[in-house]
Structure 1
Amino acid sequence: MTQSPWLAIAGLIALPVFAPASGQTPPPVVAPTLTPPTVQQLPPAPLPAPIPPLSPAQEAWANDWLKNGAAQGLMARQKASGALKGEALVTALLDRAKALSTGRVDTADFLNIWALRPAAFDPRPGLAKAVAENRLAQWAGGLTPPWAGYETLRKGLAKYEAIRDKGGWPTLTATSAPDVVRARIALEDPAVTPNENLVDVIQRAQRRYGLEPTGQLGARTLAALNVGVDERIAAIMANMERWRWMPRSLPVNRVQVNIAAAVLTVFEGDQPVSSMRAVTGSPDNATPMLASSIHSIVVNPPWNVPMSIAKRELFPKGRATLIRQGYKIIKTPEGGERIVQPAGPSSALGRLKFDFDNPFAVYLHDTPSRGKFSSYDRLASHGCIRLEKPVALAEKMVAADPNLNGQIQTLIDEGKTQRVSLPQQVAVYLLYWTAFANNDGVVSFRSDPYGWDKLLASKIEASSRRVDPTAAPSPALASKD
């Protein structure tokens, strides 16, 4: 498949126009004729596709379709509204189409670190054609993301809305009766049976929350079970919105990192073939969402310590301590100093660094600190992604080159720093999935370490209230706007 562009950048250059000054008479002598420079005229902007008038039946269908905004995660609650007609109805249809295809939140309202941008989309030609051919339902059906991850979350959203509308769930404590705990978990997990061992029930819940499956109601498990249903709905809404930012096709061979779950997955032929644990950015050093391509691997990389880390963490230790720990302090051309950690077994980057272009200076890399990989809480880096199995990943990426296939460890053992260009660049996606569901709509959640779910859900609500005549504020989120 062809990778869709992430950013559409248009530039318009204004050309100066030269003309004779007004009110001046030329001298009565022969002089060279100055021909005004030719100014290239830009073609006129194409007129918007005209939308044919909707028939009464089409208007009725369109008004009914506009009522499904909450079902698509475009608002937390739906309100009754009067029927729209004419231009007001067309405007609402165009707005809803764009929201479903590329997101409710305008990219101008993104955080800079949300560098995953949807492709440009104009819904007008498609709507005009659908009205003319009386195929509104088919047109609407093709607007939402084509990914199973979106559809399963949509099913999960309906389930959590039903739980909310029935009053939500009770707050549990460490002393809650087993039947109360079982009934609480069964609201989210239909596999729970009345006679099932409670330890098994709790373990399954812990796995859905990304917690260590102890089978006990510890503090973190209780905290996950006591997250309110409105907050779970907000998380599902936020993740559905992120699906709308994704392109409609992805490279069949790619690397995906779920930042929130701290897991890297390798896809070949559009199917996941392997995964490994990772360490992603701590809440104070968020890993950005982005798409890029890995173009090379640095073997035995030195670490050029970012100045922010050097000032905050290393320079306060003192020069003598840093030199004793193997760092080098190097003068800069501007008269300052920077810190470099030479390549070697104790280098913070380990033995491999996977490079891809991005404005945040993040990358995938090895690490000599292996203990964090056995933890269920692996958001601890400065923003880069540390890998559990970097050599295996590198071998996959160079396998098509007969001169490099099987040679990564040999290159490492040589001990020298060298850059290895990949035989073919590998697409890489850094994504923030805190909610994902199976085909039955059973949703797994991860914590929202960066607070992006609540922020994004509130932005969705605010955007819906501004432009969607069928939108009503969510009680849980209205105060945040």
Structure 2
Amino acid sequence: MVQAVPPVAPVQIVPPPTISAAQAAQLNQLLADAGYAQGLRHDGTAQPRPDGNDALVRAALDYARAVHAGRLDTSDFQQDWGLRPAAYDPLPAFADAVKRDRLPQWFRGLPPPYSGYDGLQKGLAAYRKIEASGGWAALPAGPDLALGASGPRVAALRQRLAVEDSEVVATGTKFDAELKDAVVRAQRRYGLNPTGVVSTGTLGALNVPAADRVRQIMANMERWRWLPAELPAKRIQVNIAAAVLTVFEGDAPIASMKAVTGRPGNETPMLQSRIHSIVLNPPWNVPAGIAAKELFPKGTAYLARNNYKIIGTGAGRRIQQQPGPKSALGLYKFDFDNPYAVYLHDTPSQSTFSSFSRLASHGCVRLEKPGPLAQLLLRNDPAWQPDEIQTALSTGKTQRVQLQPQDQVHVYLLYWTAFASANGAMNFRGDPYGWDKTLAAKIERRSAITAVAAR
């Protein structure tokens, strides 16, 4: 007997609404500078107004998609940009706003609802003013500048710092204590070692053009749009560019530690996932590329001394480093599903954590304090309290500890190179992977394409 197939509910298609003359004027005003203010284009010249109801609707919906879920098209994403915005259709909410005559309220609710995004938007406006005023002159190369120095290069340094720091006196040729404090503030804003000495790294950060800082802010605003509308209150975030891990609970940071992330050429991908288990005394299954380029050429004696085991023969042979004090993964490995085979892990090499530049891994994330993180994630499991963890580690045997479902924690690997501090000051980090310039160019190119299509 053939069972009757229940009828499929028809898909409801929302027709484009008809906008009144008053709403058209209101919408044109809202759209006039919105794309510019939200970092969807660098060019500040006035854009032509959409002509007619359908063109205005297309422009409104295009803006809504861009500012709510990202300007990029699927084809614009690089492989290692593993974050993807959720699908978003702005038409139903837009049609409802037209029907209820609530276009301004709809418009205000489109951008990401995060203070981090709001801070970048304010920073964007400030740095666009700086750019429009001529930016800043590049500081000439020369010997390091420090307390006691004087001359025209110090005068140029004062003028440069004063552009971003209202506490700096822009005139004068002496490097005094107040100027040293200003240099330290700048170094902290740029994530540099706050020595108060202007050396090559500080000079390079100060000489990044204002236009590039604007594009950097634009790129980071776009990345905020790729995140879900509401981040999990319990999560782990890694800032790849700054090489820092932060633990959040109740949507507030409760712990932070230094990390080591991928060097250029071995980039740590952007992604979101969930930590489901911790491996104690993990072996390292060496990726084939690393084995071929870095380990096999060193010979069998080196491999044996460092506890590597060759598995298999011929073209299919591979290398596994056994658990122990020399293991590249240390004592802890934090696993989460992802297509890049990356994870968080311990390391026996602690020296890198003392550096301000910590992009040195093959793509995985090394942790400064993996033990406390493991204890934090396992604190609700009576079978895995600190003494039990230590006992398991002391055996030297590999053991996987599954996190209880309620304790599995979301993890986000993010590339934040621009962000506002609590006082509104913009902070910048280097763009080691060159992703900011690439993303800013894609934003502008996609904006130009969609602007033509919307007309």
The normalised TM-score by structure 2 is: 0.91
Distance in 1 separating the partners of 2:5 and 2:160: 72
* Distance in 2, Cα, partners of 1:108 & 1:298: 36
Kept after mapping to 1: 8 A contact 2:168/2:179: no
Tell me the residue number matched to 1:328.
309
Structure 2 residue 121 is the aligned partner of structure 1 residue 138: no
Q: How does 1:352-391 map to 2 (within 5 A)?
A: 352-391=332-371
| 1:306 correspondence with 2:287 | yes
Separation of aligned partners in 1, 2:373 and 2:231 = 20
**2:31 matched residue in structure 1:** 66
Q: Is the 8 A contact 1:51 1:131 kept in 2?
A: no
Checking the alignment, whether the CA contact within 8 Å between 1:280 and 1:383 is kept in structure 2 is yes
How far apart in 2 are the matches of 1:468 and 1:216?
A: 47
How far is the alpha carbon of 1:196 from its aligned partner? 6.6
1:262 aligned partner? 243
- For residues 456-475 of structure 1, the aligned pairs below 5 Å read 456-468=439-451
SS for the counterpart of 1:430 is: strand
CA apart distance, 1:468: 2.0
1:446 aligns with 2:412: no
Residues 203-256 of structure 1: CA distance to partner in whole angstroms, max 9, x if unpaired? 110111111111111011001000011111111000000000010111111110
Does the residue aligned with 2:260 lie in a helix, a strand or coil? Answer: strand
CA–CA distance in 2 between the matches of 1:282 and 1:375?
Answer: 14
1:78 Cα deviation (Å)? 2.5
Aligned counterparts of 1:152 and 1:396: Cα–Cα separation in 2 = 31
Aligned-partner residue type, residue 58 of structure 1: Q
Change (3 A) 1:88 1:220: same
Secondary structure of the residue aligned to 1:360 is coil
Per-residue CA distance 1:450-474 (angstroms, 9 max, x = gap): 1110000000000011112599xxx
Identical counterparts, % of pairs: 56
The CA distance in 2 between the partners of 1:82 and 1:365, in whole Å, is 53
Structure 2 partner of 1:81:
47
> How far apart, in 1, do the equivalents of 2:309 and 2:99 lie?
70
Query: In 2, are the aligned partners of 1:155 and 1:440 still within 8 Å (CA)?
Result: no
Residue of structure 1 in register with 2:331 after alignment: 351
Q: 2:269 aligns with which of 280, 288, 291?
A: 288
Indicate conservation of the 8 Å contact 2:306/2:326, yes or no: no
SS in 2 for 1:89: helix
Separation in 2 of the partners of 1:250 and 1:413? Answer: 37
Asked if 1:182 is matched to 2:158, the reply is: yes
Where does the alignment leave 5 or more consecutive residues of structure 2 unmatched?
Answer: 143-151, 171-175
For residue 158 of structure 1, what is the aligned residue in structure 2? 125
Aligned mates of 1:81, 1:254 — CA distance in 2: 41
Partner AA of 2:185 in structure 1: R
Query: Which amino acid in the other structure matches residue 228 of structure 1?
Result: P
Deviation at 1:41, TM superposition (A): 7.7
How many Å separate the matches in 1 of 2:319 and 2:6? 52
Q: 1:469 to 1:335 in 2, by over 3 A?
A: closer
Q: C-alpha distance in 1, partners of 2:125/2:217?
A: 10
Q: How does 1:112-261 map to 2 (within 5 A)?
A: 112-174=79-141, 176-193=152-169, 197-261=178-242
> 1:440 Cα shift?
4.6
1:81 Cα deviation (Å)?
3.4
C-alpha separation between the residues in 2 aligned to 1:38 and 1:132? 40
Q: Hey, what's the Cα distance between the residues in 2 that align with 1:141 and 1:381?
A: 41
Encode CA deviations 1:325-370: one digit per residue, 9 max, x unaligned: 32111116x8621111100011000000000010111000000000
| 8 Å contact from structure 2 (residues 68, 112) kept in 1 | yes
Distance 1:191 1:106, change over 3 A: farther
Distance 1:355 1:387 in 2: 13
Q: Is contact 1:364–1:386 with CA below 8 Å preserved after alignment?
A: yes
Residue in 1 aligned with 2:372? 392
Matched residue, 1:425: 408
Whether the aligned pair in 2 keeps the contact of 1:297 and 1:355 (CA below 8 Å) is yes
Larger Rg, first or second structure (1 or 2) = 1
Normalization by structure 1: what TM-score? 0.86
Larger CA deviation: 134-143 vs 323-332: 323-332
Equivalent position to 2:299, from 304, 311, 318: 318
Letter in 2 for 1:426: V
**Structure 2: how far apart are the matches of 1:398 and 1:462?**
47
The runs of 5 or more residues in structure 1 that have no matched partner are 1-34, 472-481
Contact 1:152 1:440 in 2 (8 A): no
Between 1:193-202 and 1:204-213, the stretch displaced more is 193-202
Q: Per-residue deviation at 1:266?
A: 0.5
- Corresponding pairs, count: 435
Q: Tell me the distance in 2 between the aligned counterparts of 1:357 and 1:268.
A: 21
Other-structure match for 1:10:
none
Q: 1:56 aligns with which of 17, 21, 25?
A: 21
Is residue 67–residue 110 contact of structure 2 (8 Å, CA) maintained in 1? yes
- Correspondence for 2:70: 103
Q: Is the 8 A contact 1:264 1:276 kept in 2?
A: yes
Q: Cα gap change, 1:240/1:327 in structure 2, threshold over 3 Å: closer, same or farther?
A: same
Contact conserved, 1:174 with 1:217, CA < 8 A, in 2? no
Counterpart mapping for 1:267-282 below 5 A: 267-282=248-263
Comparing 106-115 with 263-272, which one deviates more in the overlay? 106-115
Q: CA deviation at 1:439?
A: 4.5
Residues 80-112 of structure 1 deviation map (CA, whole Å, 9 limit, x = unaligned): 234322100000000000001000111221011
Aligned mates of 2:279, 2:216 — CA distance in 1: 37
Whole-angstrom distance in 2 between the partners of 1:382 and 1:397: 25
Q: Deviations over 1:287-308 (max 9, x none)?
A: 0100001011000011111111
**CA 1:92–1:440 in structure 2 vs 1: closer, same or farther (change >3 Å)?**
farther
RMSD: 2.1
Distance between the aligned counterparts of 1:268 and 1:39, measured in 2? 47
